[in-house]
Amino acid sequence: MKSYRIALTALVIAVSGSISFAQDKKVPDYKPFIEKYRKIFSDEIKQYQIAGLSIAVVDGDSIVWCEGFGYYNQKEKKQVTGHTAFNIGSICKTFTALSILQLKDQKKIKLDDPYRKYVPEFKMKTRFGSIDSITIRNMMTHHAGIPDFIKDKMLEKPPYFTKVLDYVNDDYATAAPNNIFSYSNAGISLLGNLIENVSKQSYYDYLQKNILTPLNMTESGLLRGKLPESVDLGYSGSEKEMKELQVVDAPAGCIYSTAYDMTKYIRAMLNKGTFNHHKLISASTFDEMSSIQNKNIYLDFGSTNGLTWQLYFNDAGKCIEHAGGTINHRAELCIAPEAGIGIIIMSNSANGGRCMFRENYEMFSEIMKIKGMKPIVHEKPIPNILHKEHHFVYANAAAISVTKHIQELEQYTGRYGTFGMFYTIELREGKLWTNIWGNNWYLLPVENNEFVSSSDSSF
């Protein structure tokens, strides 16, 4: 990783929502870049009816841009700045993961131990062997088969998040561990139970003491009690004000922050877990966190996951990324440790995500040119996206004879849930049928390492 340890002199000047920082002469000229994207964001918040948005760009240890656009209170025309707090949604998951990795560094847990070793109250039902095969690592990578849909998810005053364990215990695993990526807010929430059991502190106290305070994130906080106005309000359109609700699965989404405060988190990640000489996690643990965890999981079809972070590859090399969203707040965090670059974009509007799509690629490519760096090229991390070793075969119904006995097939019928949808599997005329996104499918058994599937629009 190319490291930039550049001392910042300190005056922060707020001008029209923009924050200027004195920079070392070694930092390249970002003015044309800032002017270009300042115009883009100004235009897009009007085009997409976005109430407010903020952005910060970090180069090494320097904050090269931190600015706000629009309003956090439209009626009273209260302007967004780089110090305006917004919900970061699921980016909170990376803070929960960091807490787990701290406990790992302290040798209080092992990531490949069964989760139930530390949370014996975990008693989820499963059709896939023992739940003791579900490890902490599985849960951090969304490969544990823990269902995501839980009741009473968003409430004004939700119960304490450990209640999620009761919901999960009443449900069934959706897949065997290490079988398929299935994003699970509930699974990450259960890591909060582990943090409390092992640390002997509340999850909230642990996060404050071990992450927010060491990073000096004084503009950030946890979604409990009285909240900043900019956190409490959201917008479905530029003027359609809505009160934000809190989530019951808090460790999956209970932090609010500002663009300025998030630069401290970015700087810690660019320095492999260290901020201002305070080591949050070891460098070796950071490397493990940002390494591909799912190389041998065939049904992920080439996606790359770290420990809770998503991994992307662009001109800035390998990037760790996580997006976040609440009812109306949106956020996108992308960090390129090899190039020393990080960007956070946040919004208080449901349409705010439309301003964030270019972050992972376009903005990073331009910054690499500004820094005079050539694109950092990696080989494809999972070269065979379709994993031909599974020899998937798609065939017509007439060519297949079902060999599974009816009673064997009946055990697979029922109501299933995964990220983004529910679906029902039914047994009809000796076949398992389901409807996914308007298409009817029948499923046939795996035999001799061959999976056969077909569709029939007449069903």
pLDDT at 357: 77
pLDDT at 2: 33
Pairing mode of beta strands 233-235, 421-428: unpaired
pTM, two decimals, is 0.82
Q: Which positions ≥6 away from 11 have C-beta within 8 Å?
A: 22
What do you get for the CA distance between the two ends of the chain, in Å? 55
pLDDT at 170: 93
Please give the distance of CA 57 from its chain centroid, rounded to a whole number.
19
10-residue mean pLDDT series, the chain (459 residues): 30 36 67 96 94 97 97 96 98 98 98 98 95 98 89 75 95 92 95 98 98 98 94 85 90 97 98 96 98 85 89 94 94 97 96 83 95 89 51 41 63 72 81 79 56 38
Q: Which positions ≥6 away from 280 have C-beta within 8 Å?
A: 98, 102, 210, 211, 214, 215, 268, 273, 274
Cβ proximity of 69 and 45 under 8 Å: yes
pLDDT at 300: 79
Q: How far apart are CA 8 and CA 24, in angstroms?
A: 7
CA distance readout (Å), 128 to 315, 359, 405: 41, 40, 20
Q: How far apart are CA 459 and CA 457, in angstroms?
A: 6
CATH 3.30.1180.20 for domain 1-385, yes or no, is: no
Q: Where in the chain is the domain with CATH 3.40.710.10?
A: 1-385
